[in-house]
Amino acid sequence: MPTRQELEALPTKALHDLAMETARKHTDVAFLGRLVKALPVAEELAGDDERAKTDIVRPIALINDFLYDAGEGALGQALRPLYVDYLVDKGEAVAPGDDR
């Protein structure tokens, strides 16, 4: 089980991918729901408040952020604490491609 420090040392994309793969393997829909709810707030924290407002009005923009942008750039950086906390709380991280 990785420590918080080990997780925090990972690049944002790797941390995102690890959290998403862990949620998928455990069918953790609740985590995915928290991530979707956090996207507009994370975008505002990242300085993109116009994009955050668009996500609230246009769900397709929110889905695009969820699928493509949540692991990169300022948005990915803003979501890092969510990924780290989830993986620490889960107590088990599943590496991408691991079919445990």
pLDDT of 45-79, one tens digit each? 777 666 655 555 566 666 666 766 788 888 888 98
- Alpha helices, H only, 27-92: 29-45, 49-57, 59-64, 73-90
Q: What are the extents of the domains in the chain?
A: 4-90
- The burial class, CB within 10 Å (0-12 / 13-18 / 19+), for 39 is buried
pLDDT at 9: 93
Q: 99 in helix, strand or coil?
A: coil
CB 31 within 8 A of CB 23: yes
Collapse the DSSP code of 16 into the 3-class scheme (helix H, G, I; strand E, B; otherwise coil) and give the result.
Answer: helix
pLDDT value, residue 12: 93
Predicted local confidence at residue 44, as pLDDT: 79
Token pair, residue 96, equals 């991408």
pTM score of the predicted model: 0.72
Per-residue model confidence (pLDDT) at position 55: 54
Which has more confidence, 87 or 41?
87
- List, in order, residues 6 or more apart from 80 with CB less than 8 Å away: 8, 12, 15
* Token code pair at residue 10: 């990972």
